[in-house]
Amino acid sequence: MRRFSLLLIAGLALVLAACSGGDDAGASSSPSGDAPRTVSATLSDDMAIQLSESDFRVGETIRFEVTNEGAIVHEFYLGDEEEQAHHAEEMADMGMSHDDPNGVAVDPGATETLEYTFGEAGELLAGCHEQGHYEAGMVASMTVTGE
């Protein structure tokens, strides 16, 4: 009976711990321990990516809220020029399927979230690699400064 009581108490403790998380339970945070800052990214059929902010710090985690205001699928992929080129090749080889920690595909009228931590200083790009979109100018620049 004592063993049953201990198991019951342990189980209840796990349930209470799981239910006690606040709104930011499981969220990534910046090096300062703060919740990630949210930046809006808007994708449109005129082959544009609009960012509400474009200056970030090394080590900072940003929660990108990516909204597709268009009528066709777009994507939001983060990387430098070399990473953008590599991702474009992968997308073409895989028939435009999408499963990447640096990007999200966004259906028309939908919003997706991407959390990203900036690793090094320099220029970073947000691009859409749906067929022909990047080449049509669907890319936005970001500046990442040192700590």
For the segment 20-41, what is each residue's pLDDT rounded down to a tens digit? Answer: 333 332 333 344 567 899 999 9
In this predicted structure, what is the pLDDT of residue 10?
A: 38
Three-state DSSP string of 24-78:
CCCCCCCCCCCCCEEEEEEEECCCEEEECCCEEECCCEEEEEEEECCCCCEEEEE
| Spatial CB neighbours of 69, under 8 Å, sequence gap ≥ 6 | 42, 43, 44, 45, 109
The three-class DSSP label of residue 145 is strand
A 10 A CB-CB count for 75 gives 26
For the segment 91-109, what is each residue's pLDDT rounded down to a tens digit? Answer: 887 765 666 889 999 999 9
Contact 93, 147 (CB under 8 A): no
For the segment 38-83, what is each residue's pLDDT rounded down to a tens digit? Answer: 999 999 999 999 999 999 999 999 999 999 999 999 999 999 999 9
Distance CA 103, CA 76 (A): 5
The torsion of the CA quartet 119, 121, 111, 92, rounded to 10 degrees, works out to -80
**What pTM was computed for the model?**
0.75
